[in-house]
Amino acid sequence: MDKNIPFVQEVLGPYADVIALEPESITPDQVRDADALIIRTRTKADAALLDGSRVQFIATATIGFDHIDTEYCQTHGIAWSSCPGCNAQAVCDYIEECLCELSLPKDATIGIVGVGHVGTLVAQMAERKGYHILLNDPPKQIGKSIGEIADKCDLITFHTPLTKDGIYPTYHLCDENFLRRCKFDAIIINAARGGVVDEQALLACGHPFVLDTWENEPHIRPQVLQAARLASYHIAGYSIQGKINASAMCLDAFCKHFGTPILSIDKKVVSLHAEAGDSAPGWIQRISEQLKNHPTQFEQLRKQYKLR
């Protein structure tokens, strides 16, 4: 398992042989004799990793699962699970902090692209603050067209999965054509998945933007980083409660798959990870300055980040 997933090793340790590794150390040799993997986005669970292994179950402690080759898993009889909604409130809090830093006028219109767990919470939060809201989610048949979002919104925030196939692919959904249609000063926020927003198009079009997720993480483009109004190292969903939720969902899926008694995370386990991080007003600005001052340390900063 990925050693950066809290609580799981302490809970599973008495019942299974748990090997906790940095994500870069989760290699074919390491997983060959494993029955299960518990991972994050940094581990690509595909043929290159899984061929020849006895893995029968994969849990990712994340909402997204584009790092799992689900077709491979299906054809090879490998069950998998993700954690939809686990950190939705944390991401919503991140967006709220961004709104405070960006000082939007009270009559601003906010476009929310993707109205799942996170998008729904963001819409509710923004409405409470008095902003006008436009929603877009074609798969759910909710809201306005993506063109109307571009035409009318002062800030647009993306909360979709990353998909390249199907009727509604989201890869480079925010591309140059979309941005050229936006108001010249419309702010773009991507706290969903790197690749939903075309970073080269952001630079070309000159819109102010906020990025928490990036193309080619952790090797982010310095010119994109320096141009960002606010920037962070993929930690929008990093809160203590969000991590508890994700780890608990992974444990639940593990126990159901292997038919073991349901294992829960108790307060003693949480106390091992209970040192909270910076959540005082202005925290997103402080993180942004930290990343811009240390652009090559994306992954190290992410690993060292103390949960809010």
Instruction: Quick: pLDDT tens for 18-73.
Output: 999 999 999 999 999 999 999 998 899 999 999 999 999 999 999 889 899 999 99
pTM recorded for the entire structure: 0.85
- pLDDT value, residue 75: 96
Cα–Cα distance between 308 and 293 in angstroms, integer? 21
For the chain, percent of residues with pLDDT exceeding 90: 79
**Tens digits of per-residue pLDDT, 185-243?**
999 999 999 999 999 999 999 999 999 999 999 999 999 999 999 999 999 998 888 88
Catalytic annotation, pick one of 40, 117, 159, 234: 234
pLDDT at 273 over 90: no
**Tens digits of per-residue pLDDT, 139-197?**
999 999 999 999 999 999 999 999 998 999 999 999 999 999 999 999 999 999 999 99
Catalytic annotation, pick one of 193, 207, 302, 308: 193
Catalytic residue check, 148? no
Whose CA is closest to 191, among 234, 225, 162, 156? 234
Catalytic residue check, 215? no
* Residues contacting 60, CB < 8 A, separation 6+: 38, 39, 40, 41, 45, 67, 68, 80, 81, 82, 83, 250
* Residues contacting 248, CB < 8 A, separation 6+: 7, 264, 265
- pLDDT value, residue 271: 65
Residue spans of alpha helices (H) in the chain: 8-12, 28-31, 47-50, 70-75, 88-102, 117-128, 146-152, 176-181, 199-205, 222-227, 240-258, 267-271, 283-293, 298-304
- pLDDT value, residue 224: 97
Catalytic annotation, pick one of 96, 101, 176, 217: 217
| Class at the top of the CATH hierarchy for domain 88-236+280-304 | alpha beta
Catalytic residue check, 273? no
Considering the four listed CATH numbers 3.40.50.1100, 3.40.50.620, 3.90.1150.10, 3.40.50.720, the one that applies to the domain covering 8-86+239-271 is 3.40.50.720
- Extents of the domains making up the chain: 8-86+239-271, 88-236+280-304
- CATH topology of 8-86+239-271 equal to that of 88-236+280-304? yes
- pLDDT value, residue 289: 97
- pLDDT value, residue 262: 82
Whose CA is closest to 202, among 227, 181, 219? 227
Cα–Cα distance between 225 and 236 in angstroms, integer? 16
Q: Is 121 helix (H, G, I), strand (E, B) or coil?
A: helix
CA atoms within 13 A on the CB side of 13: 10
